Structure 1
């Protein structure tokens, strides 16, 4: 039977009576005493609400400082680079690639789908590999490989070459986000995890935003230098930024807490403390794959139900019409005489959307870790309701009147998605009692979300349907409603499991 919620006020799970996976590193005699309280009962100071380490003892504060300085910093830099590389194609498309490679019709969507196909192939195998192999080797190696392929992309001369290279960029990037989600949840408690995964997640949004600045600079200052178009310079610069970050990962990214020596930063006492903290919240280490283990993992409702929470929520968001809408003013004849947008404006005006989104995501995480006592689901419900309202508003808005109102709408369009990082936190915490189940379920969540992303845009988010994108917005409305219903389904299943546990305990 699946392990159950720690108590009614927390989404973390506790193990039954199973031993920790790697017993030689988890014996009670080797573990120091840890001052740890459940999220729902812990009293937090005002400073602790701002940053959780303020309420910890000096040994835990020192441990978290070291882990934050290595794991969190590398994760954030790596995800910044990943999203910089991921978003460069769309920015390049609007700055000359469309014309140079004759990417007319739905070619941009097809290029994205090839990247997504590669991304889908690698996620689950890499996350399973991470339960056995050192993350310090696996993740930076993948990052090096996608940096080299990004560099090669600058030289493409036709759409077919672009598609092939985008597939491999996606393949090598596939292990980073689910892998880092799995690794972060191996080091942090529920009070700490939401803030850190959201900072990690928000760094990717900053990478998306920075790509717009970078493309604008490349277009204005490097376009034509050495006979190379500005959009090609963007890809070269992306690769130059990516490669040294990957090299740093070999030194700074820590391995699992149950590894013999997770990091050169940590001494033996700190390693034991890290393991004790995870044991205190029921987060299990590595276990061997036995027949019983295999049966338990793949007959657990969580591996089948939880991924759909993320899949639905991820695909409920809209593809912003902003750049398509701005570019449509430049058509001949113009829809609004006398109003047009420059290439720089089309690149830069969407950037506040990402900045607002990042700030909102961080606020949601702080509230979830702090006043909400580790609960994730209220923020997921809010995101679904907000997204549903914004979808309906767009369908009612006239397309070319009230330009200021349109800009405000586009800048606020992603607020509903600000709780997205908490969705995978919820998955990780619900699966705390089984390390391999946690790794697979997190990877499946992200992987299958991208499977839908690889297919759906070709039917509902067609390039030629923008800026209005009626089919896409109707799709989003349906997915937002389904995401709300699925959240309630998970809450019902968790309540059922708690009732079963209480009955077994005679409570």
Structure 2
């Protein structure tokens, strides 16, 4: 018998939950289920996380390279840095929805391999750029190849794991975004110090070469280790038929369905646009993505400081505190959500949004270079807490839209795509390179966006609870049962095994 927290459909005579269950949920499972989870964790979770670390190293190395000599070498003294970021965002937006649709039609390990190889080659090409126009084109291609990876892998993770497991895995995956960003800064600082000028090449160029060399073996490994969707996978050297049967049984109990033949049709499209999920999730995620922009100001804050004056290595090292904060908060809130809060996602999401609203407001209101700068250091570092949002939000989306794999994939791809489409041009107005690190209007706008995000999370909670109540009432009516007088919050209902 499984030793998980009690579900409403299980007997009240269940054993007491062992303490080690709260450290890692598979410890309290039956042997067959534990074996399945170990194989999933060592294949899907490990290699998707490694791929995301490299994706974020490749994505964020532009900012570390910019403050490490790229600005001067490529004459990027105006808004060229913003233009390159916008080019990446355009490519990223274009590929989102098609990529997520393909994951329901083509074996994911082919898609993941193609994406990783594509951005690795484009990253390598950055080594030899001669001007910012070439850089713009390459960043567009990098964004295009990276587009479907993040939402696609979260979709795949949400297709295998159940509710008491999903929050932790989603936020471990999310923590990789911070890991990649942190490693990028540390690598750039180390490479600048040791390789700058080697073979006639600037230190900032070496980072792109080394990124590609590391990324390609991970892409090849992912081809053999990333599993297909549980409804389509065939027995292989990792997953036996009994593992696949158990995985499908778990998802049936969790009321999560796989791709349907002919599932992508006019009826599905109407269902997507006529229900609230795509609109409210997109609104919340768009607010979140924009609210991250103040974090990038720390590198400029260090670069333009006159007293003290920071070295290139320090400018790359010091912002790593933001990503360290993200890793700790992402993992901490994931364990709290899965265990102490019994799978409820909204309490940490609301708490994080409230804090970040205050954080951005203080960044806007306080002096940029006061005599005592400790307060601004703290505000920049604690701004990383908001980055635990995506893991919990994607997990919540997977649980709410469990009845249709196609709808879940399109909704996830859409809210990520729309969010980055806004973030492609808004920073050009509110976080201009020429106005860094003050960006007063940008910090105020980020605070307002996070307040709207807070309201959007409340909207998801209300609407998902309303839908759950209606579903229970309809099922009770169909079964000839009396409608319950009081229905619990949907997030208190656990539907996983």
Tell me, yes or no, whether TM beats 0.5: yes
Aligned to 1:134: 107
Deviations 1:419-471 (A, max 9, x none): 33211111111101111000011111111111111011001111111111101
The reply on whether 1:161 has 2:155 as its aligned counterpart is no
Q: Which moved more, 1:209-218 or 1:81-90?
A: 209-218
Deviation at 1:98, TM superposition (A): 0.2
Cα distance change of structure 1 residues 399 and 35 upon mapping to structure 2, 3 Å threshold: closer
RMSD: 1.9
- Aligned counterpart, 1:325: 301
Structure 1 residues 343-492: aligned runs within 5 Å: 343-400=312-369, 401-492=371-462
* Cα deviation, residue 175, structure 1: 1.2
Residue 287 of structure 2 corresponds to 312
Relative to structure 2, which stretch is displaced further, 378-387 or 255-264?
A: 255-264
Moved over 3 A (4+): 33-44, 290-298
Secondary structure of 1:310's counterpart equals helix
Shift in Å, 1:299: 2.7
- Give CA deviations for 1:314-340 in whole Å, capped at 9, x if unaligned: 22234222121111124xxxxx4xx21
Q: How does 1:230-245 map to 2 (within 5 A)?
A: 230-245=203-218
Does the 8 Å CA contact 2:93/2:420 hold for their aligned counterparts?
A: yes
CA offset digits 1:41-96 (Å, max 9, x no partner):
88743211110012210000000000100000111100000000001111100011
Residue 260 of structure 1 deviates from its aligned partner by 4.1
Q: Which has the higher contact order (CA 8 A, sep 6+)?
A: 1
Which of residues 76, 85, 90 is equivalent to 2:63? 90
- Where does the alignment leave 5 or more consecutive residues of structure 1 unmatched? 1-32, 331-335
Match of residue 191 from structure 1: 164
State the secondary structure of the residue aligned to 2:227. Answer: coil
More deviation in 353-362 or 39-48?
39-48
Once the two structures are TM-superposed, the CA of residue 305 in structure 1 deviates from its matched residue by 2.5
- Count residues in correspondence: 468
Matches within 5 A, 1:230-309: 230-261=203-234, 263-287=236-260, 288-289=262-263, 290-309=265-284
Q: Could you tell me how far 1:174 is from its partner in structure 2?
A: 0.7
**C-alpha separation between the residues in 2 aligned to 1:468 and 1:210?**
26
SS across alignment from 1:215: helix
With 423-432 and 399-408 compared, the bigger mean Cα shift is at 399-408
TM-score (norm 1): 0.89
Once residues 385 and 177 of structure 2 are traced to their aligned partners in structure 1, the CA distance between those partners, rounded to angstroms, is: 16
> For 2:357 and 2:178, how far apart are their aligned partners in 1?
22
Q: Which residue of 2 aligns with 1:14?
A: none
SS of equivalent to 1:477: helix
Closer, same or farther: CA 36–323 of 1 in aligned 2, 3 Å: closer
1-side partners of 2:133 and 2:125: how far apart? 14
How many Å separate the matches in 2 of 1:41 and 1:403? 55
Q: Is the 8 A contact 1:39 1:190 kept in 2?
A: no
Deviation at 1:364, TM superposition (A): 0.4
Find the aligned partners of 1:117 and 1:44 in 2 and give their Cα distance. Answer: 49
Q: 1:364 to 1:170 in 2, by over 3 A?
A: same
1:261-296: CA deviations, max 9, x gaps? 164301111110011111110110111234444443
Distance 1:466 1:448, change over 3 A: same
CA contact (8 A) 1:364 1:419 kept: no
Q: What's the secondary structure of 2:309's corresponding residue?
A: coil
Aligned residues of 1:77 and 1:245 also touching (Cα < 8 A): yes
CA gap of 1:263–1:475, structure 2 versus 1, over 3 A, is farther
Match of 1:227 in 2: 200
Q: Classify the secondary structure of the residue corresponding to 1:414.
A: helix
Unmatched segments (≥5 aa) in structure 2: 11-15, 478-482, 484-497
